[in-house]
């Protein structure tokens, strides 16, 4: 099989994924959006989400134009164009996915109202599948198109494509993360705590912003994050294949491309299977889809490995990636689900007060780094033994090959969450809310697993890109005994701390504005409480949007400027040290913050389920404080670090010619 | 000047320091300990503190015997003996320092009662000075004795001495840290929050344990931490001088020894100067002592550098260390003192609730890593430019040369804190309490500066030991592109997270036992509240002691076993990666936790001073939660990390022959 045919085939599979996504979104749009009130609320959410995206993209355009010019002048025009393509395709994936998600939310609620669990699950999951298929479809379409046009000889131009994807992910994750938590904290702290109205009460002026936030943070943000990892892992594999003399460049490129193509087909199949499930046990149906897709990819990897390399070394590396990805997800669940000891301990200690809850949740987050780190070490060591440095990149590709269904399952969560919000706001009967609650609770678990997967894959991708960086730079050692490398490591290690501090403070500032606004509305419109006056939802949406967009700029610039400054000032080895330092502390902090946030969240929910005094008890009050601390941890700072470590590596890779 | 004469001279200066310490402690014991009630309380505290130390040492003996046997069998008998000497001298320093500190506390309170501010400052500072002089006296006495006996040729045996110091520091910091916070949280959560009695109320059964905790944590723990850094920096310098071919071993050893000797004399002079101050402005007097000592060391370094090396390279490295040490202290103050914006912001946001306080304090802690990291980078880079790898070790020696007065100033804090507690418990008049409060508030600032200094010096010492490790191992590169090094870095980076999680959970468990006990006493002895029954102080002291000693074992073993396992399993390069990874994340976490804890503490105190509603307001309640979260951060986990990073490097250095 020659290169062009293969690439055309992969491009074809990508287009197939997009066509399936199109078919699914048409199907969703044909579903009944429900009562007039539901349509009204759904429109508010969709318009808010789209308004955010539009304004965000407007800022990104400025950033992209500047970076395009810099790339065109200092690197070359092909890299600049590849950068644009990567950015545009990531934007398209996010835009389409979110548009469908904000269409599926009302329809999920209505399916729960008119059909039942099975129908609601179907709509929510199909909505999520569109995002998943857009990520893999646009991603692999772009990579195969570029390879077809440029040929393997110019594979380094692909780093531009990866940079485009990373830039969008940066703003998507940071901006989206700030948005969603500012709205959430604003809605909760005034609505629930001060005024005493329940979650998702339509009288809360910030309630629409809160629901918009689920979409911009958990749908578009998460999608762009995994889009970046997906593209980055494949690109690093291709670059290693093209530059390393030990590997035939043709086979070395064919393998990841074909594996990614197979992963897309496996994801489509998995999606079909989940759609046909009975809907009795949503968690089981979703897991089954992921497992089937993984199994298919494993079989294909086995065949490809034998066919292209004549042995099972490539299969070994891929298998390690897949197994470690699944295992990290499972471990994350163990630390964040209320079925296990960690969360129950935190809930029990809530009786001693908020401080103990916070300390214990934080300790749990730190403790939860041990197993994922050992697993990542096992993947790195094992993959290297299998296939050298190329093997490390392969294990990243393996882990991410099923990202289509992983994103589908993950996006299903916020759609169900939104559906529940709409059911509440539209005063649908209790049995509808019961169905959406059940879907939402499954979504919480899948979200935790998805977060673990996102961090694990970010770590492996960053590592693969790091290895490519050294390979392309032609440096044979990054020596920790060189003072410049030590300095690079310290600075790199410090950046995730600084980045987290900045994003947390940003959430604080944005939430503060939101709180003031919600308080103002309750004060100036006393009719809100007895439904004689309507809250001004749009104003709250606008505040979250403006604040998030303003606050994302400084952390965003930091991620781009820091590697450039160290590369230019201290050289490529020091920059290598920076990337290594940032990778280590970044992964650790991201896991700590995500797990702690998830554990606090579920400890609160566990108490709300009746344990330790239930809702309104002192234990509950303490747990709510823990949960609120966890909000920016798990939904803003933690996930943003994934992007930081990948983006800095990509920036280093793209701008390498300047540092040499 | 020949080597033996110099060493004898330094040993003489060390003995002089110990004689001055003896003189000061005799002077203190001659002071009037005050009323019968004060003597009674003072005896409780002293007996509790000494009981803790005795039981701690009993556990350490087992550990030391095992490690001695391992060293004697696998390394050599001289290293094993040096290990014992290091352990014994560190124990002696801690024991003498704490004995005097628990004697000075009542006498400080009495001096405030009968004399006034000037007298009280004098007693408290002289008490602290004994600890400071014991640290430098015993430390340099041991090093110069070993060098005299062994000669420079066997300088590697000194690593055993360093290991002894590190082992004691580990248990001192971890055990002491758990003790002090378990007692503190137990006393506060039941006494202040549930029963509503003030701090240091004699009716609180945990009040004595709380005051004992200040001694075992802040006096003995801090002393052993800086003893370890002090010894470690000098030893790494000597080892580098003995193994590097670029430096004359004689001059390379003479320089740090003579500088340390000069530092001791400068500290004695500084102590004398502080003792002669008018006492009107305690903060100014203490700072003046430190500055004068630093200035003297700088002048001596200039002369020595020129005399021994014929140029100013050594002076440059030493000066960088001294300047960076002072600068890190000043920055720490900026983030933790209520005179600046960070703390005031946290206090202002307390009005929005506890969650916002926690998030903001944590973000402040993370943000505060930036400047110290850049300063450490500047010291590393600058010192290397001055004098290569040896320069890095020299800058650590420079930073630590004035440790005598630094520890004196630092120990003055807990003595004043104890004096305040005794004044309260003995119902001394308000004007006495006013004086001790003033002394205590100065102590809080010096404690924050001391913590910053401890972390900065731990970082530089660990780095110097790390460089010695590579030098002795004969490895020329620790290459971050080798998978084993990457794995080592990930595991090393993870260890401070695991270590912090373990110590935080330990504080939680120990505090829980304490809370149960205090509740039980209030329940079963209702007469406590109206002073008709006496609380059982000894029972609380015993609980803290047992819990702390039990909980310190697992983290302690981890610090010793982890480097051994990686060194034996993955080799010396991987172990180098582990040390580098642990150093980076360890320093960052330690700074984050110490600063966050200090900032929360002072935000609470700022509110208690009347801002944002003052004591009892909702803002105060929120700030108390932040402060309680910060307790294990700043006094247990954060400082323990200092030890972890140094100890793991020393363990690697000592056991290096096994890995090669």
Decide if pLDDT at A383 tops 90.
Answer: yes
Percent of chain A exceeding pLDDT 70 equals 100
Residue A198 is classified by DSSP as P
Q: Closest residue of B to A186, CA-based?
A: B352
Q: What is the pLDDT of residues B218-231, one digit of tens each?
A: 899 999 999 999 99
Q: How would residue B214 be classed by pLDDT, with cut points 50, 70 and 90?
A: confident
pLDDT, average across residues A602-609:
91
Candidates A372, A466, A493, A576, partner chain B, best to mutate (most B CBs within 10 A): A493
Decide if pLDDT at B442 tops 90.
Answer: no
Asked if this assembly's ipTM is beyond 0.85, the reply is yes
- Cα separation values, A171 from A216, B457, B515, Å: 11, 38, 47
Radius of gyration of chain B (CA): 23
Q: What is the pLDDT of residues B182-200, one digit of tens each?
A: 888 888 888 877 888 888 8
- Cα separation values, A331 from A589, A660, B298, Å: 16, 42, 54
Q: Closest residue of A to B189, CA-based?
A: A352
Residue in B505, B606, B572, B531 with CA at minimum distance from that of residue B178: B505
Residue in A228, A268, A254 with CA at minimum distance from that of residue A89: A228
User: CB–CB of B360 and A515 under 8 A?
Assistant: no
Q: What is the pLDDT of residues B491-516, one digit of tens each?
A: 999 999 999 999 999 998 898 889 88
CA–CA separation, B470 vs B656, rounded Å?
Answer: 10
- Cα separation values, B483 from A192, A264, A373, A400, Å: 50, 30, 14, 21
Give the pLDDT confidence score for residue B43 in this predicted structure: 92
Q: How many residues does chain A have?
A: 660
Chain B residues whose beta carbon lies within 8 Å of the beta carbon of residue A190: none
Q: What is the pLDDT of residues B113-143, one digit of tens each?
A: 998 888 999 999 999 999 999 999 999 999 9
| Angle at the Cα of B27 from the Cα atoms of B26 and B32, rounded to 5 degrees | 110
Q: What is the pLDDT of residues B8-56, one digit of tens each?
A: 999 999 999 999 999 999 999 999 999 999 999 999 999 989 888 888 8
CA–CA separation, A546 vs A563, rounded Å?
Answer: 28
Residues 6+ apart with CB under 8 A from B548: B52, B175, B176, B178, B179, B182, B506, B510
Give the pLDDT confidence score for residue B234 in this predicted structure: 96
CB atoms within 10 A of CB A316: 22
Q: What is the pLDDT of residues B537-565, one digit of tens each?
A: 888 988 888 888 888 888 888 999 999 99
Least confident window among A96-100, A168-172, B252-256: A168-172
Q: How many residues does chain B have?
A: 660
Q: What is the largest CA-CA distance in chain B?
A: 75
**Shortest Cα–Cα distance, B226 to chain A (Å):** 22
Q: Which of A374, A497, A580 sits opposite B480 (nearest CB)?
A: A580
User: CB–CB of B490 and A362 under 8 A?
Assistant: no
Q: What is the pLDDT of residues B265-287, one digit of tens each?
A: 999 999 999 888 777 788 888 88
Residue in A409, A449, A444 with CA at minimum distance from that of residue A329: A449
In order, the DSSP letters of A92-160 are HHHHHHHHHHHHHHHHHHHHHHHT-HHHHHHHHHHHHHHHHHHHHHHHHHHHHHHHHHH-GGGGGGHHH
pLDDT, average across residues A502-516:
90
CA–CA separation, B486 vs B491, rounded Å?
Answer: 9
Give the pLDDT confidence score for residue A1 in this predicted structure: 65
CB burial string A57-70: b at 16+ within 10 A, e below: bebbeebbeebbeb
Average pLDDT, chain A: 92
Give the end-to-end CA distance of chain B in Å, rounded to a whole number. Answer: 38
pLDDT, average across residues A530-544:
88
CB A584 within 8 A of CB A592: no
Give the pLDDT confidence score for residue B90 in this predicted structure: 96
Decide if pLDDT at A448 tops 80.
Answer: no
Average pLDDT, chain B: 92
Chain B residues whose beta carbon lies within 8 Å of the beta carbon of residue A580: 480, 486, 489
User: What is the SS3 assignment for B576-633?
Assistant: HHHHHHHHHHHHHHHHHHHHHHHHHHHHHHHHHCCHHHCCCCHHHHHHHHHHHHHHHH
Q: Closest residue of A to B465, CA-based?
A: A481
Q: How would residue A190 be classed by pLDDT, with cut points 50, 70 and 90?
A: confident
Chain B residues whose beta carbon lies within 8 Å of the beta carbon of residue A178: none
**Shortest Cα–Cα distance, A514 to chain B (Å):** 12
Q: What is the pLDDT of residues B77-102, one digit of tens each?
A: 999 999 999 999 999 999 999 999 99
Partners of B479 in the beta sheet?
A: A479
**Shortest Cα–Cα distance, B39 to chain A (Å):** 35
Partners of A479 in the beta sheet?
A: B479
- Give the tokens for residue B8: 């004898």
- Strand (E) or helix (H) holding B421: helix B403-425
pLDDT, average across residues A319-328:
92
CB burial string A148-172: b at 16+ within 10 A, e below: eeeebebbbbbbbbbbbbbbbbbbb
Give the pLDDT confidence score for residue A476 in this predicted structure: 84
Give the pLDDT confidence score for residue B1 in this predicted structure: 65
Decide if pLDDT at B568 tops 90.
Answer: yes
Chain A residues whose beta carbon lies within 8 Å of the beta carbon of residue B507: 359
Residue written as tokens 């077809």?
Answer: A148
- Residue pairs between chains A and B whose CB atoms are closer than 8 Å: 215
Chain A residues whose beta carbon lies within 8 Å of the beta carbon of residue B389: 481
pLDDT, average across residues A91-97:
94
For residues A277 and A416, the model is more confident at A416
Chain B residues whose beta carbon lies within 8 Å of the beta carbon of residue A360: 504-505, 508
CA–CA separation, B346 vs B599, rounded Å?
Answer: 8
CB A430 within 8 A of CB A202: no
Least confident window among A127-141, A394-408, A425-439: A425-439
- Give the tokens for residue B387: 């004098």
Please compute, for residue B34, the number of CA atoms within 13 A of its CA located in the half-sphere on the CB side.
Answer: 29
- Give the tokens for residue A284: 């089981």
- Give the tokens for residue B255: 């320089």
User: CB–CB of A512 and B629 under 8 A?
Assistant: no
Give the pLDDT confidence score for residue B197 in this predicted structure: 85
| Angle at the Cα of A115 from the Cα atoms of A109 and A118, rounded to 5 degrees | 85
Give the pLDDT confidence score for residue A189 in this predicted structure: 81
CA–CA separation, A115 vs A106, rounded Å?
Answer: 14
CA dihedral A501, A506, A511, A516 (to 10 degrees): 120
Candidates A240, A513, A584, A625, partner chain B, best to mutate (most B CBs within 10 A): A584
pLDDT, average across residues A223-239:
94
Percent of chain B exceeding pLDDT 90 equals 67
Decide if pLDDT at A49 tops 80.
Answer: yes
CB burial string A642-653: b at 16+ within 10 A, e below: bbbbbbbbbbbb
| Angle at the Cα of A126 from the Cα atoms of A121 and A132, rounded to 5 degrees | 125
- Cα separation values, B272 from B101, B108, B408, B481, Å: 18, 18, 12, 54
- Strand (E) or helix (H) holding B314: helix B313-336
Residue A337 is classified by DSSP as S
Residue in B18, B369, B7, B261 with CA at minimum distance from that of residue B158: B7
User: CB–CB of B369 and A491 under 8 A?
Assistant: no
Chain A residues whose beta carbon lies within 8 Å of the beta carbon of residue B632: 359
């Amino acid at each position: 099989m020659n290169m062009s045919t293969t690439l055309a085939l992969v491009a074809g599979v990508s287009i197939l994924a997009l066509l399936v996504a199109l078919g699914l979104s048409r199907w969703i749009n044909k579903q009944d959006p429900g009562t007039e009130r539901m349509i009204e609320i759904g429109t508010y959410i969709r318009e808010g989400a789209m308004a955010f995206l539009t304004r965000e993209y407007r800022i990104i355009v400025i950033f992209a134009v500047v970076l395009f010019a810099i790339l065109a002048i200092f690197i070359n025009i092909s890299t600049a164009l590849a950068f644009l393509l990567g950015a545009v395709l990531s934007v398209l994936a996010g835009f389409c996915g979110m548009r469908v998600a904000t269409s599926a939310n009302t329809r999920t609620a209505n399916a729960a109202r008119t059909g039942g669990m099975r129908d609601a699950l179907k709509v929510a999951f199909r909505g999520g599948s569109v995002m998943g298929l857009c990520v893999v479809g646009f991603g692999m379409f772009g990579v195969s198109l570029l390879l077809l046009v440029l040929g393997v000889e110019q594979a380094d131009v692909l780093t531009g494509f990866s940079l485009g994807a990373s830039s969008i992910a940066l703003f998507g994750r940071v901006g989206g993360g700030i948005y969603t938590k500012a709205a959430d904290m604003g809605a909760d702290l005034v609505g629930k705590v001060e005024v005493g109205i329940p979650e998702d009460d339509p009288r809360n002026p910030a309630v629409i912003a809160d629901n918009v936030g689920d979409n911009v943070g958990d749908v578009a943000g998460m999608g762009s994050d995994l889009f970046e990892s997906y593209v980055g892992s494949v690109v690093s594999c291709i670059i290693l294949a093209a530059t390393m003399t030990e590997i035939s460049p043709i086979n070395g490129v064919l393998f990841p491309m074909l594996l990614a193509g197979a992963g897309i087909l496996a994801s489509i199949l998995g999606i079909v299977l989940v759609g046909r499930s009975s809907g009795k046990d949503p968690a089981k149906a979703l897991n089954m889809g992921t497992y089937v897709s993984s199994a298919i990819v494993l079989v294909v990897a086995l065949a490809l490995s034998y066919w292209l390399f004549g042995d099972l070394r490539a299969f070994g590396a891929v298998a390690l990636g897949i197994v470690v990805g699944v295992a990290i997800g499972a471990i994350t669940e163990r630390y964040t689900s209320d079925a296990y000891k960690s969360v129950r301990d935190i809930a029990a200690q809530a009786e001693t007060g908020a401080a103990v809850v916070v300390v214990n949740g934080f300790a749990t987050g730190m403790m939860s780094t041990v197993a994922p780190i050992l697993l990542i070490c096992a993947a790195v060591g094992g993959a290297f033994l299998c296939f050298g440095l190329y093997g490390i990149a392969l294990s990243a590709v393996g882990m991410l090959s099923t990202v289509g269904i992983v994103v589908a399952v993950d996006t299903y969560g916020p759609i169900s969450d939104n559906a529940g919000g709409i059911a509440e706001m539209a005063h649908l009967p209790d049995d509808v809310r019961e169905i959406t609650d059940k879907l939402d609770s499954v979504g919480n678990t899948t979200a935790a697993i998805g977060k673990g997967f996102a961090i694990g894959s970010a770590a492996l991708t960053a590592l693969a890109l790091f290895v490519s960086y050294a390979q392309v730079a032609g440096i044979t050692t990054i020596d920790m005994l060189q003072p410049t490398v030590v300095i690079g490591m310290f600075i790199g290690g410090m950046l995730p701390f600084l980045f987290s501090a900045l994003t947390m403070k940003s959430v604080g500032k944005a939430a503060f504005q939101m709180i003031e606004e919600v308080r103002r509305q309750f004060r100036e419109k006393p009719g809100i409480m007895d439904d004689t006056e309507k809250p001004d939802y749009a104003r709250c949406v606008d505040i979250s949007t403006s604040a998030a967009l303003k606050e994302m700029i400084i952390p965003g610039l930091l991620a781009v400027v820091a590697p450039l400054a160290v590369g230019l000032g201290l050289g490529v080895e020091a920059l290598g040290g920076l990337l290594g330092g940032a990778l280590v502390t970044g992964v650790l902090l991201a896991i700590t913050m995500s797990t702690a946030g998830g554990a606090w969240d579920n400890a609160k929910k566990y108490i709300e389920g009746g344990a330790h005094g239930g809702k309104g008890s002192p234990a509950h009050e303490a747990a709510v404080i823990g949960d609120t601390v966890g909000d920016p941890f798990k939904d803003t700072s933690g996930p943003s670090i994934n992007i930081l470590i990948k983006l800095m590596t990509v920036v280093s890779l793209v701008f390498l010619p300047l540092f040499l």
